[in-house]
Amino acid sequence: MIRTVATKPFPDQKPGTSGLRKKVPVFQQPGYLENFIQSIFDSLEGFAGKALVVGGDGRYFNREAIQIVAKIAAANGFGRIVIGKGGIMSTPAVSALIRHLGAFGGIILSASHNPGGPDGDFGVKYNISAGGPAPESITEAIFARTKQIEAYKISDAPDFDIDRLGSVEIENATIEIVDPVTQYLELMKTLFDFAAIRALFASGFTMRFDALHAVTGPYAHAIFENELGAAAGSVVNGTPLPDFGGHHPDPNPTYAKDLYDLMLSAAAPDFGAASDGDGDRNMILGRGIYVTPSDSLAILAANARVAPGYANGLAGVARSMPTSAASDRVTEKLGIRHYETPTGWKFFGNLLDAGLATFCGEESFGTGSNHIREKDGIWAVLLWLSILANRRIPAIDVVRDHWRTYGRNYYTRHDYDEIDLKAAGGLMEALGEAITTLPGKSFGALKVEAADDFEYHDPVDGSIADHQGIRVMFEGGSRIVYRLSGTGTVGATLRLYIERYEPPTGDLEEDTQATLADLIALSRELAGIEARTGRKAPSVIT
Ligand code: VG1
Ligand code: CO
């Protein structure tokens, strides 16, 4: 039976960069999740009888939330609700399945790279029929609805078994529990030459993939070990845990430190990679080298043709604004389009749909292509493996060769986590005022050429996204970018992005932090970071 339950609005259900993220106890309040899910459906039209894909990254509260989401979806008139076994399905696999089934949309239960567990984070994201994150017009409508909502509809059917493949009827909906890997694996086989990668592993090539106890474990076991022949044990931390083993499921040098240290040690395998909570991020390492995500995007774009899915080349490459300009040098050389969008994968959707871009990337360990509408961690690893299988040189030489051809964009991101909200607001406001006076000023050898608050005009639908980050650009192409995170749940996170270009003939082997030291010092001074936040140093450096 369908019950209509009276409810009161919560004031804080505004989706951020990637869905709604809150602490688990916030989501556990009676009506909190229910209100948000009902508000999503209230903001959509035409889904009666259609399919909804529901996935999760296995974090704490995932299993309970799946039951609630499915019962509200059934009560609201969806005809088919497709769920990954155990409630597990990576963000890229949800995107792939929405597209494959021609589903109306999907709901992803994840706070991505944020920690999990009873005191950790939980999150909800809505994806549209193209498979990508809902655009801002929809997330704004959802937020508006959360402030008005008075009731939600839910089926009173008993809980169904999410651990057994098969289907059950609830109200007028069929709930299907499917294997979360099958269709995704099929899609990967259409893009990559699995036999070529198998031959690479057969030649003795070694790899470690760290799933960080998050959602990619089952995918990595099935694809790298079973399909491609990587040695058993190549995948580590491959069982999803509700608290990710107590760690941040965030693939970067700080939170995937074991892998990072191994790859820079004498015991390193040929290749290393890690992915995040929901499987859309990737960190790439070769023996003796950590590949900056912005470089990885550029290298993948430059070498894309080795994979059958991209044998005809790329239409264009889109990168988020704070991502380094390394990929721009590749698009320029290839004579293809390049785009600069605000942070967040939702801004790539229109470019991919319109066929303007084939690859997209963000400095935050996100890379993907038009095969789906999300970034895709396993995809990036498969493309790297394809390049290594084709070129048969160490990963470090692929990177060095790239720098010698295109030059190197020395690049780093400094995060100041959990700073005071007011202090962060004040800092950004002051920077916003400074952009008018900075141009023309010199700081040592650095002369400011231009400064602005990034505004994006979507070339496809004309929509405008403003206040997307303060950019300070220097003569010679160096740059500092400031923005506040839209995915954190405690206080504010200030992100600083620092970049300097070195041409192919210059010194390409410097230490990144050392070579950027002047810019780093200036970035702190310009924003008055220590004075305003009390922080002397960042919490995370990537
Ligand atoms: C961060 C990253 C951004 C990414 C977003 C979602 O956002 O900077 O590039 O798209 O996370 O990634 P923010 O607003 O905190 O800077 V995921 O893998 O957490 O869904
Ligand atoms: Co993620």
Instruction: Report how far apart, in Å, the C-alpha atoms of 31 and of each of 4, 8, 9, 10, 178 are.
Output: 12, 8, 9, 9, 28
Question: For residue 17, which atom of ligand 1 is closest to its CA?
Answer: 14
- Greatest CA separation for the chain: 72
Question: Which amino acid would we find at residue 219?
Answer: Y
* Fold of the CATH domain 408-541: TATA-Binding Protein (3.30.310)
Q: Give me 286's structure tokens.
A: 């070769």
Backbone angles phi, psi at 527, to 5 degrees: -95, -5
- At 20 the three-state DSSP class reads strand
Question: What helix, strand, coil percent values describe the chain, rounded to 5?
Answer: 35, 25, 40
Q: H-type helices in 392-504, by residue range?
A: 395-406, 421-434
Regarding the beta carbon of 416 and ligand 1, being less than 6 Å apart is answered no
Burial label for 452, CB within 10 Å (0-12, 13-18, 19+), is middle
Residues with CB under 5 A from ligand 2 (ion): 112, 276, 278, 280-281
Residue nearest to atom 19 of ligand 1 (CA): 112
Query: Is the CB of residue 76 less than 8 Å from the CB of residue 153?
Result: yes
Query: Is the CB of residue 52 less than 8 Å from the CB of residue 103?
Result: yes
Q: What is the 191 CA–ligand 1 centroid distance (Å)? A: 26
* Fold of the CATH domain 2-180: Alpha-D-Glucose-1,6-Bisphosphate; Chain A, domain 3 (3.40.120)
pLDDT of residue 487: 78
**Each residue's pLDDT tens digit, 350-360:** 999 999 999 99
Query: Is the CB of residue 278 less than 8 Å from the CB of residue 112?
Result: yes
Count of CB atoms within 10 A of residue 525's CB? 12
Look at residue 27 and tell me whether its pLDDT is greater than 90.
Answer: yes
Regarding the beta carbon of 294 and ligand 1, being less than 6 Å apart is answered no
Residue nearest to atom 10 of ligand 1 (CA): 344
Residue 250: which of 278, 285, 218, 289 has the closest Cα?
A: 278
- At 281 the three-state DSSP class reads strand
pLDDT of residue 491: 86
State how far the Cα of 382 lies from the Cα of 242, in Å rounded to an integer: 27
Look at residue 156 and tell me whether its pLDDT is greater than 90.
Answer: yes
Residue nearest to atom 3 of ligand 1 (CA): 344
Backbone angles phi, psi at 193, to 5 degrees: -85, 90
Look at residue 477 and tell me whether its pLDDT is greater than 90.
Answer: no
State how far the Cα of 153 lies from the Cα of 75, in Å rounded to an integer: 6
Q: Which of 43, 95, 112, 296 is catalytic?
A: 112
State how far the Cα of 158 lies from the Cα of 443, in Å rounded to an integer: 67
Regarding the beta carbon of 362 and ligand 1, being less than 6 Å apart is answered yes
pLDDT of residue 8: 97
* Fold of the CATH domain 184-406: Alpha-D-Glucose-1,6-Bisphosphate; Chain A, domain 3 (3.40.120)
Question: For residue 375, which atom of ligand 1 is closest to its CA?
Answer: 18
Residue 276: which of 185, 376, 184, 187 has the closest Cα?
A: 376
Q: Give me 245's structure tokens.
A: 């083993």
pLDDT of residue 490: 79
Look at residue 315 and tell me whether its pLDDT is greater than 80.
Answer: yes
Q: What is the 111 CA–ligand 2 centroid distance (Å)? A: 7
Question: Which amino acid would we find at residue 380?
Answer: A
Look at residue 489 and tell me whether its pLDDT is greater than 80.
Answer: no
pLDDT of residue 262: 98
Query: Is the CB of residue 399 less than 8 Å from the CB of residue 285?
Result: no
Domain ranges of the chain: 2-180, 184-406, 408-541
Angle of helix 421-434 relative to helix 517-527, nearest 10 degrees, comes to: 100
Residue nearest to atom 8 of ligand 1 (CA): 364
State how far the Cα of 242 lies from the Cα of 240, in Å rounded to an integer: 7
Q: What is the 227 CA–ligand 1 centroid distance (Å)? A: 31
Contacts of residue 265, Cβ cutoff 8 Å, sequence gap at least 6? none
Instruction: Report how far apart, in Å, the C-alpha atoms of 97 and of each of 100, 216, 376, 538 are.
Output: 5, 16, 13, 39
State how far the Cα of 494 lies from the Cα of 539, in Å rounded to an integer: 10
Specify the pairing of strand 20-23 against strand 121-127: antiparallel
Length of the chain: 542
The average pLDDT across 221-225 equals 98
The average pLDDT across 114-140 equals 95
**Each residue's pLDDT tens digit, 407-426:** 999 999 999 999 999 999 99
408-541 shares the fold of 2-180: no
- At 361 the three-state DSSP class reads strand
Task: State the chain's mean pLDDT as an integer.
Answer: 96
Q: What is the 405 CA–ligand 2 centroid distance (Å)? A: 31
Question: Which amino acid would we find at residue 467?
Answer: H
Instruction: Report how far apart, in Å, the C-alpha atoms of 155 and of each of 44, 76, 228, 423 are.
Output: 19, 9, 43, 45
Query: Is the CB of residue 108 less than 8 Å from the CB of residue 374?
Result: no
Query: Is 324 annotated in the active site?
Result: no
Q: What is the 29 CA–ligand 1 centroid distance (Å)? A: 26
Which residue out of 22, 282, 487 has the highest number of ligand 1 atoms within 8 Å of its CB and is therefore the one to mutate?
Answer: 487
The average pLDDT across 138-163 equals 97
Query: Is the CB of residue 3 less than 8 Å from the CB of residue 152?
Result: no
Which range among 235-239, 374-378, 473-477 shows the weakest confidence by mean pLDDT?
Answer: 473-477
